[in-house]
Amino acid sequence: MTMLLTMLPYAFSLSLGLLATQLILPPKENCPLIIKLCLGQAVGLAISAYLTFLSFILFDQLIPFFVIFLNLILFLTLTFFVATSKENHFPKPKITWAKTKQHIGACLAIFLLAFFLIRQSNFYVHGGWDAWSVWNLKAKFLYLGGESWGNMFEPMLWRSSPHYPLLLPLINVWAWIFTQAPVYYVPQSTAILFSLLTATFLYAAIKQETKSRFAFLPILLFLGSPFVVRQCISQYSDILFAFYLLSGIYCLMKTKEKNSGAFAAMAGLLLGCLTFTKGEGLLAAGILSLLFIPYLGYKSRSPKDAELSLIFFTALFLTSLPLLFFKLVYAPDNVTFTNGLVSQTHPSTLPRLKAILIYYFLELRHMKWNGLLIITALTLLIKFRQMLNSRNILISLFLAGYFGMITVYYYINTQFEIIWWLKFTLARVIFATLPVILLLTFLSLFEKKT
């Protein structure tokens, strides 16, 4: 019974998300079922989290009945639109042995790695440091705080980063409504679920783009590393960041390839969710937004480019509203930021910049990655020209811009001693972008096949 109550909110959000995904990506877009399932689960959980946040905005506390009622109303509304639209019907799945056998290896890999993730997470049930001191603490304030939930923003709790967005805590609160207690296995389940979604989506995207029999390898590379697995089950928001970033970039690529307004809308939705994951999510979504228009026109122009841009930015704006409201109304200032460009006591110096750049190379060859970063770096160097083709250049420019801005932030923010800061945070920054790095690596290795 307890397990059923734990699964119920995830299953309901999957149904809700599949309806929304079906409306945005109708059958004519030929989006593979496995990708729709991954998008449906992630989009559904984001919708349920946003509706949960609405309870705090309207009533200044969690009202479980109100949240469940809103989810049910939205579910029925989406069901009506799907049922009455000729374009948005659910087509009968065409399952053949020829298609199924291509995915057997990947399904077995995902199943075995799911078992491994669950087993490992049982030794790490409360997650890492930031799980119980930041993300799970916020969730408990939201769930248990009543009208005093806003106490999480008090200055004395600055170590819990009260300025961080709330998507992960709200997802866990949504699930706790059904368990009726802040049980530890809900954050644990959320972390495992998004880890599997990320690995599955990575496989599906590479399989669709390359038709390679080796498309299952990224799953093994991603979830076959003990260090990566530990990051996955740490119950941090990094794994949410990883999924929404990966899926958002994929949808941007399909937008250009298909001149598709549907994929443009889905990309905007996913990147809007990305902004509510953590501070880096806003940075990543901002960089991709700046790249979107020139990316559409790179090596090919379409009369629909202006329309696609309007659709993308509209969807991005609408799904970024929770973050905007959070920043304007609730979030306190970041007290862990010191501007080294103007500070006389903690200035940004050349040795600090050198330390940052050197540490990147040290992290690259660190044994905890088991050579994964070195292999991907060498592969991308060898396939440098493929990184700049019209399919892959968006990822290449994004990674360059993202890590460039991360480096600038490390340099300017002199609040912390730089070696200590890099030691405890750089690996997590890399981990969150690892699925995108693996996507770029395998797309550069294999030519696109239709």
Which string of DSSP letters, residue by residue, matches 58-80?
A: HHSS--HHHHHHHHHHHHHHHHH
Q: What is the mean pLDDT of each run of 10 residues along the chain (450 residues)?
A: 76 96 92 94 98 97 97 97 75 54 72 85 89 95 95 90 96 95 94 95 93 85 89 96 98 95 97 97 97 89 88 97 96 91 92 96 92 93 90 95 97 95 95 97 79
Element (H, E) at 21: helix 2-24
Cβ contacts of residue 177 below 8 Å, gap of 6+? 9, 52, 62, 64, 67, 68
Task: Supply the DSSP string of 303-363, one letter for each residue.
Answer: TTHHHHHHHHHHHHHHHTHHHHHIIIIIPPP-TT--BTTT-SSS---HHHHHHHHHHHHHH
In whole angstroms, what is the distance from residue 276 CA to residue 89 CA?
31
Torsion of CA 129, 111, 20, 247, to 10 degrees: 60
Q: Which two tokens stand for residue 255?
A: 């937008």
Q: Which two tokens stand for residue 414?
A: 């002199």
What is the model's pLDDT at position 211? 85
Please name every residue paired with 339 in a beta bridge, in sequence order, or none if there are none: 413
What is the model's pLDDT at position 91? 54
What is the model's pLDDT at position 139? 97
In whole angstroms, what is the distance from residue 278 CA to residue 283 CA?
9
Q: Which two tokens stand for residue 279?
A: 């501070």
Looking up tokens 């509510």 gives 276
Looking up tokens 């060498």 gives 378
Q: Which residues of 241-263 are buried (b: 16+ CB within 10 A; e: fewer)?
A: bbbbbbbbbbbbbbbbeebbbbb
In whole angstroms, what is the distance from residue 394 CA to residue 397 CA?
5
pTM of the model: 0.95
Select from 122, 144, 143 the least CA-distant residue to 191. 122
What is the model's pLDDT at position 104? 72
* Dihedral sign from CA coordinates of 178, 48, 9, 109: negative
Residue 293 CB burial class (10 angstroms; 0-12, 13-18, ≥19): middle
Q: Which two tokens stand for residue 338?
A: 């010191």
For 21, half-sphere exposure in the C-beta direction (CA atoms, 13 angstrom radius) is: 27
In whole angstroms, what is the distance from residue 143 CA to residue 124 CA?
22
3-state secondary structure of 366: coil
Provide the residue ranges of all domains of the chain, joining segments of one domain with +.
Answer: 2-446
Please name every residue paired with 413 in a beta bridge, in sequence order, or none if there are none: 339
What is the model's pLDDT at position 390? 86
